[in-house]
């Protein structure tokens, strides 16, 4: 039985190709942050796994609430009005993550995480819709499959990179510590490694912001022919 093959002709359409790269870069940060923040809270702030989940819960709720809101704003204003501010918010939020240490308050962490979720909500749906809108209708299923696949692959790649950077930063910090086995030093080393990883996230988010500057509201060939 012949297996279905993913159609890659979608990358001939510039808006879709740009959106695919933009989401790939952004999802590296999104999935990696979801891994790194619980590690920071449990390893540096010494909170339980249950409390870590509660701290991240408001951001998840806001992200879910913002999805339909960003959809309505997209219909009214187009993608750029949402995507560019959303990416700016994401860059600022990730920069705040680089300042986290053992003295970071729970309230500040919740606020920054909520801001990141708002930024991602302003980018995700409008960018995907703009990219898919440029495709002919018969390519929509393949375009959706490509974007979903890229998101999963980018999450795996981003997590591996973040963990590697974090481990290297932690090892570097502990190599200069007077007592590398002291719990306080281990926590500070973990915080230093996580800060390094989020600096990488800031750079990735800036790349996504630059890509977002070129985003336009795509129109499918059928729509262009009808308009003509």
Per-residue pLDDT of 155-178, as tens digits, reads 889 889 999 999 999 998 888 887
Structure tokens at 132: 């898919």
Separation of alpha carbons 79 and 211, rounded Å? 13
Structure tokens at 185: 């030093």
What integer is the mean pLDDT of 199-217? 87
- DSSP code, position 2: P
Q: How many helices (H) and strands (E) does the chain have?
A: 7, 0
Predicted pLDDT at 6: 66
Render pLDDT for 56-90 as a digit per residue (tens, 0 to 9): 999 989 988 888 888 888 888 888 889 999 999 99
Q: Which residues contact 112 (CB under 8 A, 6 or more apart)?
A: 93, 96, 97
Task: Determine if residue 46 is left, alpha or beta; phi over 0 gives left, psi from -120 to 50 gives alpha, anything else beta.
Answer: left
Judge whether residue 186 has pLDDT over 60: yes
Long-range contacts of 218-225 (CB under 8 A, 24+ apart): 218/13, 218/15, 218/16, 218/130, 218/131, 218/132, 218/133, 218/134, 218/135, 219/133, 219/134, 220/133, 220/134, 220/135, 220/136, 220/137, 221/136, 222/136, 222/137
Separation of alpha carbons 151 and 157, rounded Å? 10
Predicted pLDDT at 84: 92
Judge whether residue 218 has pLDDT over 60: no
Least confident of 102-106, 159-163, 215-219: 215-219
Judge whether residue 100 has pLDDT over 70: yes
CATH number given to 12-216: 1.20.1250.20
- Contact (CB, 8 A) for 96 and 36: no
- Listed by start position, the domains of the chain span 12-216
Whole-prediction pTM value?
0.86
Judge whether residue 1 has pLDDT over 50: no
Predicted pLDDT at 101: 86
């Amino acid at each position: 039985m012949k297996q279905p093959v993913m159609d890659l002709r979608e990358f001939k359409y510039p808006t879709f190709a740009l959106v695919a790269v933009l989401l790939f870069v952004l999802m590296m940060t999104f999935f990696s942050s979801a891994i790194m923040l619980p590690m920071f809270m449990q390893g540096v702030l010494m909170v339980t796994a249950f409390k870590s989940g509660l701290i991240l819960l408001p951001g998840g709720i806001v992200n879910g609430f913002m999805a339909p809101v960003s959809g309505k704003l997209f219909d009214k204003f187009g993608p750029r009005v949402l995507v560019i501010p959303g990416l700016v918010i994401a860059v600022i939020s990730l920069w705040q993550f680089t300042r986290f240490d053992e003295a970071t308050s729970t309230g500040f962490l919740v606020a920054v995480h909520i801001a990141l979720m708002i930024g991602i909500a302003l980018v995700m749906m409008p960018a995907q819709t703009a990219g898919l809108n440029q495709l002919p209708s018969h390519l929509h299923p393949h375009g959706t499959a490509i974007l979903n696949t890229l998101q999963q692959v980018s999450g795996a790649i981003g997590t591996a990179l973040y963990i590697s950077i974090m481990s290297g930063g932690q090892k570097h910090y502990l190599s200069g510590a007077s007592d590398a086995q002291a719990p306080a030093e281990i926590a500070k080393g973990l915080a230093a490694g996580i800060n390094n990883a989020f600096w990488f996230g800031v750079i990735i988010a800036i790349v996504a912001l630059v890509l977002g500057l070129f985003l336009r509201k795509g129109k499918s060939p059928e729509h262009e022919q009808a308009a003509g």
